[in-house]
Amino acid sequence: MSRRALITGITGQDGSYLAEHLLSLGYQVWGLIRGQANPRKSRISRLVSDVSFVNGDLLDQGSLVAAVDLVQPDEVYNLAAISFVPMSWQQAELTTDVNGMGVLRTLEAIRLVCGLDKSRSSTGQIRFYQASSSEMFGKVVESPQHEMTNFHPRSPYGVAKTYGHFITRNYRESFNMYGVSGILFNHESPRRGAEFVTRKISLAVAQIKLGRQDKLYLGNLDAVRDWGFAGDYVRAMHLMLQQDEPTDYVVGTGRTHSVYDAVRMAFEYVGLNWRDHVVIDPGLVRPAEVETLCADPGKVRDELGWEPTVSFEQLIHMMVESDLLNVSRERELGDLILASSW
Ligand code: NDP
Ligand code: GDR
């Protein structure tokens, strides 16, 4: 019998890569989707014949219980979230509800379904992955950051993710649940939402190169991140649920670049000078910035054998290439340009 996985957030960047990865491993994949006309189903259009869908929302406990009961998964990957950090200041309560309480509701759904099903001897039989974030480190006290580094989140997003992280650990300790958190550093791809800085840059560079736009407005160019390729990071998520003992892992490359580096590489790739096009907009600087993040991926490398396969430069080039194609074919552009005005 093939294993069954339920993915929340399947319409997102990571959800689509994870679904493809699990399908390639022979899993039966189910995706939780919300709403009746999901605008982002296009991202997973290539998967619709292979993935089953179930309706549900992280804000609705009953829908999560029903989804877990219907799917009877071996593994649940909770990727659903309001994931754009600036949005979390504008909609702090909603972000807290989805990204914090939503984790609790998903854990409760697993606990309830396991409790109801007498054939399951313990809650440990449904394995749970929580999408924790390097944003929990926030204002960092040590660098690089590892599994024992203290958290100091700097946004409502980071605070809510920190709750999700600790409640997952608490359910592991309280109910003997197999629940783990992957503390993932920034990971990008051609499927990245257009609000996020790498995609905002790759899309603008493509637009500028093809004569559809002239300026790119950005905030803090000095921000430093540990950026990797999303396709690599979903492999780590799956590996974390295959271990004998549940434990949390930091996932990143251990290498850092600034937003400025990303800008320079992207413009150089198409033979343009970024200085002719980039404008600093103070309105895009965050109320409390996370200046620099860098992962110590020692544990995930040593225990899971995980390594990133795509360098930062390859990642930026891959994204620019993809957006050159998108722009030249005018694919998805309405939504993307709207999102990239953030
Ligand atoms: P995306 O923003 O691309 O995807 C978010 C997903 O969450 C979408 O499928 C969205 O569905 C879904 N969602 C939002 N609100 C709800 C809700 N109330 N109920 C059910 N589903 C909902 O995020 P990524 O794929 O980039 O990230 C995946 C997860 O990993 C997120 O939790 C993010 O916070 C976390 N993370 C991401 C990192 C990164 O660098 N990408 C790094 C560290 C953590 P819909 O299409 O309906 O809007
Ligand atoms: P981040 O990603 O907030 O780290 O969260 P984002 O790409 O939005 O920002 C990275 C850094 O770039 C700076 N920046 C800008 N960012 C955006 N979006 N737009 C701009 O114009 C701009 N100019 C400069 C930001 O200030 C920031 O320092 C991502 C998300 O995927 C989260 O869900 C995830 O948890 C973390 O990564 C790890």
pLDDT given at position 51: 94
One domain, residues 29 and 71: yes
Residues near ligand 1 with C-beta < 6 Å?
A: 8-9, 11-15, 34-35, 38, 40, 57-59, 79-83, 98, 131, 133, 184, 186-187, 193
For 66, residues 6+ apart whose C-beta sits below 8 A from its C-beta are 54, 56
pLDDT given at position 332: 62
One domain, residues 312 and 213: yes
Residue 11: exposure state from Cβ atoms within 10 A (0-12, 13-18, ≥19): buried
One domain, residues 296 and 235: no
DSSP at 153: -
pLDDT given at position 43: 64
Ligand nearest to the CA of 196: 2
Of 86, 7, 95, 90, the C-alpha closest to 47 is: 7
One domain, residues 182 and 133: yes
One domain, residues 106 and 176: yes
DSSP three-state, residue 59: coil
One domain, residues 114 and 161: yes
Kindly give the distance from the C-alpha atom of residue 298 to the centroid of ligand 1, in angstroms, as a whole number.
Answer: 26
Residue 292: exposure state from Cβ atoms within 10 A (0-12, 13-18, ≥19): middle
- Local mean pLDDT, 10-residue blocks, the chain (342 residues): 95 97 98 74 71 96 98 98 98 98 98 73 78 97 96 98 98 95 98 97 97 97 98 98 97 98 98 98 96 98 98 98 94 67 70
One domain, residues 222 and 109: no
One domain, residues 182 and 260: no
pLDDT given at position 141: 86
pLDDT given at position 115: 81
Q: Name the region of 132 (left: φ>0; alpha: ψ -120 to 50; beta: rest).
A: beta
Of 54, 14, 49, 6, the C-alpha closest to 34 is: 54
Q: Which domain holds residue 237?
A: 4-187+227-251
CA distance 162 to 107: 15
Give catalytic status of residue 256 as yes or no: no
The residues pairing with 292 across neighbouring beta strands, listed in sequence order, are 224
One domain, residues 199 and 76: no
CB atoms within 10 A of CB 35: 10
Q: How many residues does the chain have?
A: 342
Ligand nearest to the CA of 77: 1
One domain, residues 206 and 124: no
One domain, residues 217 and 234: no
Number of compact structural domains in the chain: 2
165, 184, 196: residue to mutate for ligand 2 pocket, most atoms within 8 A of CB: 196
**Ligand 2 atom closest to Cα of 134?**
38
CATH number assigned to the domain comprising residue 215? 3.90.25.10
One domain, residues 85 and 157: yes
Prediction ipTM score: 0.99
Q: What is the pTM of this model?
A: 0.96
